Structure 1
Amino acid sequence: MNIQSLLKQAQKMQAEIGKAEKALKERKYCALVNNGVVQVECNGAYEVTKVEIDETLLTAENKELLEDMILMGVNEAVKKAVSEREEVMNQLTGGVKLPGAF
């Protein structure tokens, strides 16, 4: 295999990774806590974009429970985004970790 061919393959892979990263950032990941009484959504850039709370939880007595549920929801939504990103990037790179790629 010559260097030109390797360079073209690397450029093609880099372009595919760029497209995949853009698509992943636009994806939405939702986590439902306690049968959906708390819902958290994040995007592929790991930014929380929405939190919905069932009104029945909005009491002073439920403050600590609600905080825990929100935390669980955020962690689960981000975990889904990270997992999908790793899966997509592993498919594109054949499992090879490329510095700066992800």
Structure 2
Amino acid sequence: MKARIPKGMGGGPQNMQAMLKQAQKMQEDIEAKKVELEQKEYVVTSGGGMVEITMTGSHEVKAIGINPEVVDPEDVEMLEDMLVAALNEVTRQIDEEAERELNSVTGGLNIPGL
């Protein structure tokens, strides 16, 4: 008994070539989106605006701003906590946006290494 493949479902040369072109375009789109996200700058604050962190999408810290009012030699721990909170938040935002943007390019496909 031979299996019959419905018309239009075959893996003929034209169909395979179209799939390869589509995969290549998706790969190019992914690379372009990665470059775009790596160059984008993210700014977050913590402690009610007392600490501000600017970081690129490639997780490079560009600037740290500290309001002089928060600099208390008696309470360095509070400043450290605000810095940690700001760094964690900006990293979270970068990772979430990268995942969201790359999912939009891949159509939600789970591609290893992204």
RMSD: 1.1
- Residue identity over aligned pairs, in percent, reads 35
Residues of 2 paired with 1:51 and 1:78: CA distance?
14
The runs of 5 or more residues in structure 2 that have no matched partner are: 1-10
Partner of 1:3: 16
Flag the structure with more relative contact order, 1 or 2, with Cα contacts below 8 A and sequence separation at least 6.
Answer: 1
Give, as a single letter, the amino acid of the residue that structure 2 aligns with 1:11: Q
**Structure with the greater alpha carbon radius of gyration:** 2
- The alpha carbon displacement at 1:25 in A equals 0.3
For residue 97 of structure 2, give the secondary structure of its aligned residue in structure 1: helix
Match of 1:23 among 36, 50, 71: 36
Runs of 4+ off more than 6 Å: none
Looking at secondary structure, tell me which structure has more helix per residue.
Answer: 1
Cα distance in 2 for residues equivalent to 1:16 and 1:31: 28
Question: What amino acid sits opposite 2:19 in the alignment?
Answer: L
Secondary structure at 1:96 match in 2: coil
Residues matched between the structures, number: 101
| TM-score normalised over the length of structure 1 | 0.93
